[in-house]
Amino acid sequence: MAEASHSWPAHVAVIMDGNGRWAKQRNLPRIEGHRAGIKSVQSVVESCRTLGIRYLTLYAFSVENWKRPRKEISGLMALLYDYLTSEIPRLHRDAVRLRAIGQLDRLPRRVSQQFRRIMEKTASHRGLTLILALSYGGRTEILDAVREIAKERKKGREQGGEVTPEILSRHLYAPDVPPPDLLIRTSGERRLSNFLLWESARSQLYFAPQMWPDFGGEQFEKVIVEARKARESGERIEA
């Protein structure tokens, strides 16, 4: 594994947007945009190793995305299953640890089972931690944390007193993962779309004009290099 020469950014989060538009521009069905997007996922994961990034969170499916046409959802789930299955050898080769945030139980059974199986098998890997946000919503995550705290207190498991930001952080989906240093969204849209609302409170934001299938490892590396330079010189990153 490539040695990390930089410690910043330790965690990069990406809103992978623009698959549908990429397909439309080519007169292809939307699902072909999602298929092309998987290649970008693979090359960005690969780039994280060379760049020495420890955590990569990818927004793959939001709670709002359940409102999409049923055919698109089933196509996306099938692609997700195939991606996970074909990725197993590479995850082991590169010591990638797979994690998930979101409502895994809402996914089709075979997808969530495959996901849990791979998470278990890669749990001891010490390379990149790849976190997929699936059926994820930032507000839902915060609400789930609040509900969990209330439940624990009712049972008397936790001491009463004030609920602090630290206590809330400990009840999020991945409490051991540091917050994202840098959050990238592709396709030129400048929205958070309910992504990591609590965790991104202090993140640097970067909006890339390319559609996700056109945003591969090469673009990703450029953004990281630029963000590092800007950070070193104390400047803001150009959007």
37 binds Mg ion (CB under 5 A): no
Closest Cα to residue 100, out of 76, 120, 73? 120
Contacts to ligand IPE from residues 63-92, by CB under 6 A: 65, 76
**In this complex, which beta carbon is closest to ligand IPE, that of residue 79 or of residue 237?**
79
* Look-up of token digits 């080769």: 93
**In this complex, which beta carbon is closest to ligand IPE, that of residue 65 or of residue 112?**
65
Q: Taking the CA atoms of 57, 178, 197 and 172 in sequence, report the sign of the dihedral they define.
A: positive
Burial class (CB in 10 A: 0-12, 13-18, 19+), 229: exposed
Whole-number Cα distances in Å, 124 to 64, 91, 119, 198, 230: 32, 12, 9, 27, 34
- Provide the CA 119 distance to its chain's centre, in angstroms: 15
Q: How many chain residues touch ligand IPE (CB under 6 A)?
A: 17
**In this complex, which beta carbon is closest to ligand IPE, that of residue 15 or of residue 48?**
15
Known catalytic residues? 17, 65
Q: Which does 179 bind (CB under 5 to 8 A by kind): ligand IPE, Mg ion, none?
A: none
CB of 62 to ligand IPE, least distance (A): 4
17 binds Mg ion (CB under 5 A): yes
| Contact residues for Mg ion, defined by CB under 5 A | 17
| Contact residues for ligand IPE, defined by CB under 6 A | 15-21, 59-62, 65, 76, 187, 189, 191, 193
